[in-house]
């Protein structure tokens, strides 16, 4: 666990890091890096999922896991509402005084502070950085994808909150398409079957049609025919917004980091 503050905002953040089992036994090897938002819950979950997937033999490639914490002294909702959302127009019913719209600044913090910090301390394969976010975290991930796609090689975007500010991210997708003829990234998006309204069925969402939103974004991206975009989108049956993450994380890892997919880079002398 490392303190990696943001010199621009003055806020304190921590970075959690977990190394793969072979890290010290193979000092010449570099590893892909998985960066996860909402580290309080996602970091320990992904640590165990990565371990369990390989218990009976290689299923996913070993990776360095990096968790992005909430700001020190803040609750999770306070921090993520500000850092993961693209505009100041938060949803109706948000508590008075809540701040939204800081994701561009947080993206700059990740790019300028966190990524160099991790690269200097661990044997990372900087060509194979993967971003994982769920809900508001995937809203942040889509913003990065549509503004600095090469910041990460792969994106796992789960239950994305594309409804935010009257589908602001749909407008960002159109703006990107108007200026670019390629989107170099590998993307796995997942959404739970029950993240859609169906009146009279308590299993389904009471507000918002996030399955429709996710399918619409996937269709829009696919329709652009970007030559370097590789994307898979899945609606996971019998899952809700709160239950879908472990399954989505697992499938995302298997899509982006299948065992034996790519050789890890070797470096003289190790580190």
Q: What is the CA radius of gyration of the chain?
A: 18
For 58, the token pair is 């290689």
Instruction: With both helix axes pointing from N to C terminus, report the angle between 210-223 and 164-179 in degrees, rounded to the nearest 10.
Output: 10
Share of the chain above pLDDT 70, in %: 96
Q: What is the C-alpha separation between 230 and 146, in angstroms, rounded?
A: 14
255 and 53 in contact (C-beta within 8 Å)?
A: no
Share of the chain above pLDDT 90, in %: 92
Q: What pLDDT, on a 0 to 100 scale, did the predictor assign at position 264?
A: 41
Q: What is the C-alpha separation between 247 and 178, in angstroms, rounded?
A: 35
Residues of the chain with pLDDT under 70: 261-271
Q: What pLDDT, on a 0 to 100 scale, did the predictor assign at position 96?
A: 83
Q: What is the C-alpha separation between 99 and 115, in angstroms, rounded?
A: 25
Q: What pLDDT, on a 0 to 100 scale, did the predictor assign at position 261?
A: 52
**Sign of torsion, CA 33 154 188 69?**
positive
Quickly count: other Cβ atoms within 10 Å of residue 209's Cβ. Answer: 17
């Amino acid at each position: 666990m490392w303190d990696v503050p943001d010199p621009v905002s003055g806020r304190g953040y921590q970075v959690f890091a977990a190394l793969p089992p072979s890290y010290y036994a193979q000092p010449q090897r570099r590893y892909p890096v998985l960066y996860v938002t909402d580290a309080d819950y996602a970091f320990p979950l992904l640590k165990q999922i990565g371990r369990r997937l390989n218990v009976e033999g290689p299923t996913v490639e070993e990776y360095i896991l990096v968790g992005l914490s909430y700001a020190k002294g803040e609750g999770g909702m306070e921090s993520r509402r500000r850092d993961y959302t693209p505009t100041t127009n938060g949803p109706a019913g948000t508590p008075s005084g809540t701040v939204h719209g800081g994701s561009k600044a947080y993206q700059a913090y990740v790019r300028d502070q966190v990524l160099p910090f991790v690269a200097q301390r661990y044997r990372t394969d900087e060509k194979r950085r993967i971003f994982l976010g769920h809900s508001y975290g995937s809203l942040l991930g889509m913003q990065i994808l549509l503004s600095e796609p090469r910041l990460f090689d792969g994106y796992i975007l789960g239950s994305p909150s594309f409804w935010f500010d009257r589908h602001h991210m749909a407008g960002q997708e159109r703006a990107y398409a108007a200026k670019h003829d390629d989107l170099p990234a590998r993307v796995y998006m997942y959404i739970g079957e029950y993240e859609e309204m169906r009146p009279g069925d308590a299993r389904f969402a009471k507000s918002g049609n996030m399955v429709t939103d996710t399918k619409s974004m996937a269709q829009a991206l696919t329709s652009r025919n970007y030559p370097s975009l590789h994307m898979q989108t899945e609606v996971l049956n019998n899952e809700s917004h709160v239950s879908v993450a472990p399954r989505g994380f697992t499938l995302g890892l298997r899509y982006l980091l299948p065992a034996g997919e790519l050789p890890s880079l070797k470096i003289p002398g190790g580190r």
